[in-house]
Structures are given as C-alpha cells and as structure tokens.
C-alpha cells in the first residue's frame, strides 16, 4: 500500500518536471519570437542613453510580468545592474520572455551589449 502510493507520487513529480522543462525549452529555443502576453511591455528603442528603453522609468506591480520588445535593428538585452533579472539577448524585432517581478523595489538595468543603454524599473 505504502509502496504503491509513493510510486504514484514519484511519477507525478516526474511528469510535472518534464512538462516544465518542455515549456522552458520551447520558449527559449524557438527562433521566431512567440507572441508574448506580458502585463507590461518595455520597448528597446536603441542605443540612446536614458531614452534607450520606453517608457523610462517603467512602473509595475509586484506579481506582474514584464517583457522587453526590441524595435531596433540590432540585438539588445536588459540586465538588472545587480543581475537580479536579465532578458538574455533579444534580437531585432523580437520580444523577450516574460519575467515575473516578485519583489518590490527600484531596479536600474542596462544593456550589456551597449552599456550606455540604461533604464529603470519600479516595482510597487
Ligand atoms: Cu543594446
């Protein structure tokens, strides 16, 4: 009785882990950006100092998701200065994965490819 019970639990955990892995792989490896449904979308405008990201600053609530959409003709990323969050490289025309902001704070971020590109995200 106990043995078959724990076996079932083990299978459940395994299946959940597999499906999570599949989702993660699907979103990060697909060449064309899937349609991202984030609560907040920040546009990557280009290498323009404090005007590189729009809107800037961006304000959102704890628990909301945010994605960065690159409307420029070259790749960018959005990396929090203390690396608490990062989009990874977002190619021209693409949109990053949606990131969930789970903590309040004022987060300054930049593009590691173009360090002059800076923005601020305020999570309330
Ligand atoms: Cu950049």
List, for residues 38-83, the tens digit of each pLDDT value. 999 999 999 999 999 999 999 999 999 999 999 999 999 999 999 9
pLDDT grade for 31, boundaries at 50, 70 and 90: low
High-pLDDT (> 70) share of the chain, %: 71
How many whole angstroms from 112 Cα to the centroid of ligand 1? 7
Q: For residues 101 and 26, which has the higher predicted lDDT (pLDDT)?
A: 101
Q: Which residues surround ligand 1, an ion (CB under 5 A)?
A: 76, 111, 113-114, 117
Q: Which two tokens stand for residue 90?
A: 């977002």
- pLDDT-above-90 percentage for the chain: 70
- Residue 17 clears pLDDT 50, i.e. is over it: no
Ligand 1 centroid distance, CA of 111 (Å): 5
* Cα of 102 from ligand 1 centre, angstroms: 25
Q: How far is the CA of 45 from the centre of ligand 1 (A)?
A: 9
User: Residue 7: its pLDDT value, please?
Assistant: 44
**pLDDT for 86:** 97
């Amino acid at each position: 009785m106990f043995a078959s019970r724990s076996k079932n639990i083990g299978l459940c955990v395994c299946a959940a882990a597999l499906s999570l892995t599949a989702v993660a792989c699907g979103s990060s490896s697909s060449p064309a950006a899937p349609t991202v449904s984030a609560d907040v979308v920040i546009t990557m405008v280009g290498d323009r100092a404090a005007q590189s990201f729009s809107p800037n600053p961006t304000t959102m609530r704890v628990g909301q998701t945010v994605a960065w959409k690159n409307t420029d003709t070259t790749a960018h990323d959005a990396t929090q200065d203390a690396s608490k969050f990062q989009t990874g490289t977002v190619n021209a025309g693409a949109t990053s994965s949606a990131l969930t902001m789970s903590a309040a704070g004022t987060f300054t971020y930049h593009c590691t490819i173009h360090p002059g590109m800076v923005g601020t995200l305020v999570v309330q």
